[in-house]
Structure 1
Amino acid sequence: MPELFQWITLLPMQTVAELPEYIRTADKLLSAEERQDIIRYLAEHPKDGDLMEGTGGVRKLRWRRGGQGKSGGVRVIYYFHDDAMPLYLLTLFAKGDRANLSKAERNELAGLTTLLVKAWRGKRA
């Protein structure tokens, strides 16, 4: 007897929030379609970015843009704490504009992650 239905496993997608710095930079560097593609991708794969040392868990995702490949693309800086908390898009930069974040910027991000977690837990309490 043939099966009447097919089982499909759907994984829940992660909620994604864009911070103002990310929005400002994304408006300059990405098309609307590229921006949505990044959001969709990270909603499905929140742990894909490389963990950045000294940031409190911030990740960097290499993303190609406009047919330029990953080497000519952007670096998306985001924070993923866990499945219960939104993934926060923090900022991004074109690879050609800079190689990486400075130690001071990484320290600032570490402080920001602490604030994001405290704020989220405060809302949930």
Structure 2
Amino acid sequence: MYTVVETESFKVEIAELLDLDDRLAFFTYLSQNPLKGDVIQHGKGLRKIRWATSGKGKSGGVRVIYYNMLDDGLIVCLAVYAKNEKENISAKELKSLKNEKQGNQS
């Protein structure tokens, strides 16, 4: 099992979208399945995973952008958004997340 790390912005975003039970269930699942998310094209290792919220199914759920540092035993969560708000992140958002990833790995 791996340790899930949240960036400060991620902590704020996820608290608005998922209750504590859903967050704990997600972190447990991700820590046991770090390769489950789809690799984002041109994302330099970023992954996207869908997570259903309680009673709403995947269509009412969220998408989480994260990357793995499995050699270090870490999974770093960068961003989360409601699936009903947008299907994918924009090129500008992807660039920002890649830069944040680079900064976290330094």
TM-score, normalised with respect to structure 1: 0.79
Which structure is higher in strand share? 2
The answer to whether structure 1 residue 88 and structure 2 residue 76 are counterparts is yes
Does the 8 A contact of 1:64 with 1:72 survive in 2?
A: yes
Measured in 1, the distance between the counterparts of 2:71 and 2:56 equals 32
The answer to whether structure 1 residue 63 and structure 2 residue 51 are counterparts is yes
The answer to whether structure 1 residue 32 and structure 2 residue 20 are counterparts is yes
Does the 8 A contact of 1:80 with 1:86 survive in 2?
A: yes
| Residue number in structure 2 paired with 1:15 | 3
| Structure 2 stretches lacking a partner, 5+ long | none
TM-score, normalised with respect to structure 2: 0.92
Q: 1:112 aligns with which of 97, 100, 104?
A: 100
| Residue number in structure 2 paired with 1:49 | 37
| Residue 85 of structure 1: how far off its partner (Å) | 4.6
Measured in 2, the distance between the counterparts of 1:30 and 1:66 equals 9
| Residue 72 of structure 1: how far off its partner (Å) | 1.5
Percent pairwise identity: 35
Q: Which has the higher Rg, Structure 1 or Structure 2? A: 1
Measured in 1, the distance between the counterparts of 2:70 and 2:5 equals 14
Does the 8 A contact of 2:69 with 2:76 survive in 1?
A: no
Q: How many residues align?
A: 106
Runs of 4+ in 1 over 2 A off after TM superposition: none
